Structure 1
């Protein structure tokens, strides 16, 4: 059988032996017939609480949190829908859009125009959050399990605070969207480091699809609820990145309903693990770099046999990337096992160690090779990863009886074992 893998913006077609290959994809849901109307309905008839327009008064300042360029959020549709509802109530000069970068780099003007559209960029103030700029942050106290919280001043000081995002399973926070658009999205580096410390990341419940009893999500939710979200606005997307459903309203009730719905779409039970799992990171923009592609590896890890092989197909046009500490942390130890021991013994969290911790856990249990057009074999070896230019040959090397699982959309489908 021929399977199209999500790879960059073009995709990649690969032939598999259909006698021993299982393809796992998210339930396909058609896009809403009128996506703009679905968004407007969520703003006017929310899951819980009054409509957005009824929560805003003339003269108030408004802060809107939106995903950065590594996420396929339909900002070009969601932000205009909000601005339309606010029209006649507040002035555009009193609206600020905050790009919730967390610790990622800020987006360029060209990227912002691709993300939001020229009209929004030219008419509304847009600010890239900077987790390292202490002057732009406000201290709010400790929340959750002793998390020191600094958040972006433009967010905390606004009269009205609106989160916007999309909901899908997340490899250690349980699900994306909702409270993550406050923290880590708009938090200081110090806050992010505590939220992503080795103990939280290593907890059994810090995994795909778990939000209750997940120490990461529990603290993220506590921060967002304690510091105040006026209105929360999320969508669920299909494999084409089109809007299937939209949800608005009070943060907790909205996100609970959205995650329940996303779980039925994206989580898939399988009876037994596989010798080989071929995965992606859902194509562009999610597979821009190796750091993000750890999510695709983690999706595959849920159903690969101990000692098996994961083949991660990710474009990585942005390399490791060059910014951040991910590459340096990877190079700080001679093996995945040594990395894990070093991270777990470290008294303080350093930036990006959480991604390395998850990657090293995966690599300690199975082989991981990467197919990419932008990183060399030497680059990947420095990350303790194998390299393949020929996916079919890598599969053939495992022998004619090796069982194969393919996740064409990577972490948009999260398989889980019903048996050991």
Structure 2
């Protein structure tokens, strides 16, 4: 039997044994999205704390924190609504790069729109290894918290985020504008080392050591100086939900909606999961790996995952690849991680565990040798995805795996 497949990068006919079952998993996207005027109205309807107009009353220096080009956050739309309210304020913008590279010019234009020209002298980037950072204390898990010095400059801080599934922090958004967004490298590394611990998983918040450490870190800030704007987006990166106000309640509300939209029930686990990755996460293998995490939730033990992503910029930060190469086997890699942690090893640990649980195939622009070094089989067409499979198969196609979380019924 044949079945049509379309995962952005992977398109064609999939040849399967007769009697196979093929399902497609999509998020529960809403039919309506928010227009600019809807976003503007929501700014006066906070989930907690004052409305934006009241928040700004006694503020003179405003720092806006925006996500980088590797998130689908509708930053430009939000800026169009908040900037007219800031014309009497001294305003700066920082891109919350965390440890990511700085956005290129096309990404900057997408993030800021015409405001890129207005803020050419007041646009900053978090350079986690270079910038000056101020200490704020230490969490109970031992993370020494250091945030970008610009936080001290501002008497009002407006983080603009989007809440999506995250494979070890549970969800993006909210507290992640600060950690990792505008934190020092050492702070990020200490926090992310917790990703190898039990409880760090997609949608997990309570009992998740990474999330709880992040929340403890941001609690060291003066939260009254923060007006948070959190969005949830559809497949076109258009906002379909927005919450704002204090950092905690705005994240909680957006998180609830994100789980409703991105979490999708499956009746059983599958023999073969074909997982696509779309923009902006399809630029590097480092980011595309998030699709692998969600696909693994739907694969039976011993089953096969095919991850399909363009990876136009290659591997990205290759620390995790080098660790997997050094380990030589999944078990060897996990043993190395037990002895030492570096930022990026959390990704290596997840990949190694998935390789132990079943087969990994990768359809991408990555060199074959690199693909094999991370315990995956390179594939170039759909025929290779089913090679070696015998008898009727249960197959799941997830066109946009990073934004789709399979939940077993």
User: Which string of whole-angstrom CA distances, capped at 9 and with x for unpartnered residues, describes residues 197-231 of structure 1?
Assistant: 1xx22333211111122111111112123213411
Cα distance in 2, alignment partners of residues 361 and 126 from structure 1? 40
The CA deviation at 1:288 is 0.6
In structure 2, what is the equivalent of residue 30 of structure 1? 31
1:4-403 equivalence runs, <5 A:
4-7=6-9, 12-15=11-14, 19-32=20-33, 34-57=34-57, 60-87=60-87, 89-90=88-89, 94-117=90-113, 119-124=114-119, 125-133=122-130, 135-197=131-193, 200-229=194-223, 230-281=226-277, 283-321=278-316, 323=317, 325-346=319-340, 349-372=341-364, 374-403=365-394
SS in 1 for 2:248: helix
C-alpha separation between the residues in 1 aligned to 2:406 and 2:260?
Answer: 12
Which structure 1 residue ranges, 5 or more long, are not aligned?
Answer: none
Please give the alpha-carbon distance, in whole angstroms, between the structure 2 residues aligned to 1:6 and 1:263.
Answer: 23
**Offset, 1:138:** 1.2
CA deviation map 1:247-301 (0-9, x unaligned): 11111111111111111111122232111111122x1111111111111111011
Give me the whole-angstrom Cα distance separating, in 2, the residues matched to 1:144 and 1:392: 51
DSSP 3-state at the match of 2:386? helix
The answer (yes or no) to whether the contact 1:161–1:231 under 8 Å persists in 2 is yes
* TM-score, with structure 2 as normaliser: 0.93
Distance 1:29 1:268 in 2: 14
Q: CA separation in 1, counterparts of 2:242 and 2:84?
A: 16
**Shift in Å, 1:13:** 4.9
Answer yes or no: is the 8 Å Cα contact 2:275–2:399 preserved in 1: yes
| Alignment root-mean-square deviation, CA | 1.9
- Residues 19-76 of structure 1: per-residue CA shift (max 9 Å, x gap): 51121110121242x5202211221111111111211246621111111111111111
| Distance in 2 of aligned mates of 1:16 and 1:163 | 47
Shift of 1:182: 0.5
Conserved 8 A contact 1:324-1:351: no
Distance of 2:236 and 2:104 partners within structure 1: 25
Question: How far 1:345 sits from its partner (Å)?
Answer: 2.3
User: Does structure 2 retain, via aligned residues, the 8 Å contact 1:280–1:410?
Assistant: yes
Q: How many residues align?
A: 401
Within 2, Cα distance between the matches of 1:300 and 1:332?
26
Secondary structure at 2:82's aligned position in 1? helix
SS in 1 for 2:219: helix
> What's the TM-score, normalizing by structure 1?
0.90
Aligned twin of 1:411: 402
**Which secondary structure state, in structure 2, belongs to the residue aligned with residue 112 of structure 1?**
helix
